């Protein structure tokens, strides 16, 4: 899809939550190159300000920044306020890395509740608000940035994996519900990616940073490329071959479509 078509389908504004560094910042730079205006959200305002200055110098787009803790109970209300009357045609929910680095019972429950608030409740409220406006306009897109941890329970990242599993199932259902109404939804399932948050966690745990990690730029580019072709894309996996989920991306899509067709058939008989 060329830049003009992309802007027409997902513009004029993109809101990126978790935009200060890593994959979020990569999304911001690539979307600015396509001519979309940006609402950049993260907890720390300093990196956001630097990114907005960089993008403003390189591209003729507007950048608005908002310092928001996405684990706060009113985080979505703050996102809505930051967007104001701007027409958000693309929502990217990229925040949510697990910085706890511990097993479940070896950490305070408040930390797990905060992680769940950020990855589940804030996400749920955000896709409901912005998705509703997209449906009314008959166009738009949402990218839910996930993790391969969504596919199975893993010790040490139990709550993180559980929240990402929730996001995956929600995103796939929303794709089936909204695709016929002009709104695209994509679960972008990352593998090990070279981000500052990943490096900081490995350093704190005293674990060497793994070889062969994906670059943030490549992951973001894949997400933007595959957005029209949801519901799920797994990093570094052919779409027609099963990988970490046990099902290929194509098989997941076909299964969801089949179930959606069955549900529609039952509804006609009620």
Q: How far is CA 115 from CA 121, 146, 224, 249, in A?
A: 10, 14, 26, 27
Tell me, what's the pLDDT at 98? 85
Are 69 and 46 contacting, i.e. CB atoms less than 8 angstroms apart?
no
Structure tokens, 212: 């062969």
Residue 160 falls in the annotated catalytic set: yes
DSSP three-state, residue 215: strand
226: pLDDT strictly greater than 80: yes
Q: Does domain 9-269 fall into CATH 3.40.30.10?
A: no
From the list 151, 160, 166, 266, the catalytic residue is 160
Dist CA 67 CA 33 (whole Å): 23
Name residue 39's beta-bridge partners: 15, 64
pLDDT digits (tens, 9 = 90+) for 2-47: 999 999 999 999 999 999 999 999 999 999 999 999 999 999 999 9
Are 140 and 182 contacting, i.e. CB atoms less than 8 angstroms apart?
yes
Tell me, what's the pLDDT at 243? 86
- Of 199 and 259, the one with more pLDDT: 259
Any idea where the domains of the chain sit in the sequence?
9-269
Instruction: State pTM to two decimals.
Output: 0.91
């Amino acid at each position: 899809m060329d830049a003009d078509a992309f802007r027409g389908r997902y513009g004029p504004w993109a809101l990126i939550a978790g935009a200060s560094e890593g994959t979020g910042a990569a999304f911001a730079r690539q979307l600015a190159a396509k001519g979309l205006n940006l609402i950049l959200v993260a907890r720390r305002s300093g990196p956001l300000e630097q990114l907005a200055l960089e993008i403003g110098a390189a591209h003729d787009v507007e950048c608005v920044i908002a310092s928001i803790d996405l684990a706060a109970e009113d985080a979505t209300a703050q996102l809505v306020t930051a967007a104001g009357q701007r027409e958000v045609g693309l929502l990217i929910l990229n925040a949510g890395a697990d910085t706890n680095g511990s097993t479940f019972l070896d950490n305070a429950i408040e930390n797990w509740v905060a992680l769940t608030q950020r990855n589940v409740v804030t996400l749920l409220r955000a896709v409901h608000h912005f998705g509703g406006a997209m449906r009314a306009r008959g166009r738009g897109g949402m990218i839910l940035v996930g993790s391969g941890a969504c596919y199975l329970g893993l010790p040490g990242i139990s709550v993180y994996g559980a929240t990402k599993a929730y996001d995956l199932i929600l995103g796939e259902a929303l794709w089936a519900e909204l695709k016929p109404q002009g709104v695209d939804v994509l679960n972008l399932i990352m593998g090990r990616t070279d981000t500052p948050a990943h490096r900081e966690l490995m350093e704190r745990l005293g674990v060497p940073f793994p070889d062969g990690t994906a670059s943030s730029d490549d992951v973001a580019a894949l997400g933007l490329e595959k957005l029209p072709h949801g519901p799920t894309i797994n990093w570094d996996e052919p779409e027609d071959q099963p990988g970490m989920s046990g099902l290929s991306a194509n098989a997941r899509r076909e299964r969801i479509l089949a179930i959606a067709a069955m549900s529609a058939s039952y509804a006609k008989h009620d």
